Amino acid sequence: MIETKPNEPIDRSVCPTLGHAMAISAATIDPNRVGGLLETAHAMLAGLDPASEIGFALAMGKLWGVHLNDQNGMKFDQDKSFGVENLRTAFNQIKVLMENGFGNNGEYIGLDVKVMRTEKQEGSYKHLENSLKIAKMLEAKVEKFDYEYQKKCVEERDYEALEMYVMELLMQS
């Protein structure tokens, strides 16, 4: 399993994206034995949308693991709690994973986050708790998602209505 890293441990990488990992897997003796692990912040560091990377690897049958976290721009790998920087991006990731039944065949989702450097010792696990709570809240939002309305919006090419629907769904308590 190849974990893509656009700038770790150095700024030049053989496998910065899942596309690169898929290309390498195709060149191996047994491509069926090679898959990818996406840390979502790594996709952001590469300037890509994590949900698109997830969807691409799923379509290729090569997404074997996901580490959910968040990132504020293309800085160093921050490993922030999942969903704290961009809730819509986090929603899209959960949505594509759920739509494709990710995890039903032994794949796994991890939370790749680290405590903020200035956090007190007694609060050092809050980042994990927060990531899991946000992921579960987003799963509940995906379960409420109206796919018929999405289909109608796409057919009518009314993407502004679809965007507003998603935002209203996310902002409902």
Domains observed in the chain: 2-171 (3.20.20.150)
Q: What is the pLDDT of residue 143?
A: 98
Q: What is the pLDDT of residue 21?
A: 92
CB-based contact 91:170 (threshold 8 Å): yes
DSSP state of 61: T
Per-residue pLDDT for 10 more than 80? no
Q: How far is CA 114 from CA 6, 27, 118, in A?
A: 19, 34, 11
Q: Name the E strands within the chain.
A: 2-3, 36-39, 63-68, 108-111
Per-residue pLDDT for 162 more than 80? yes
- 92-128 residue pLDDT tens: 999 999 999 999 988 889 998 877 777 788 878 898 9
CB-based contact 75:103 (threshold 8 Å): no
* Token pair recorded at residue 120: 């007190």
Q: What is the pLDDT of residue 154?
A: 98
For residues 119-142, give the mean pLDDT. Answer: 91
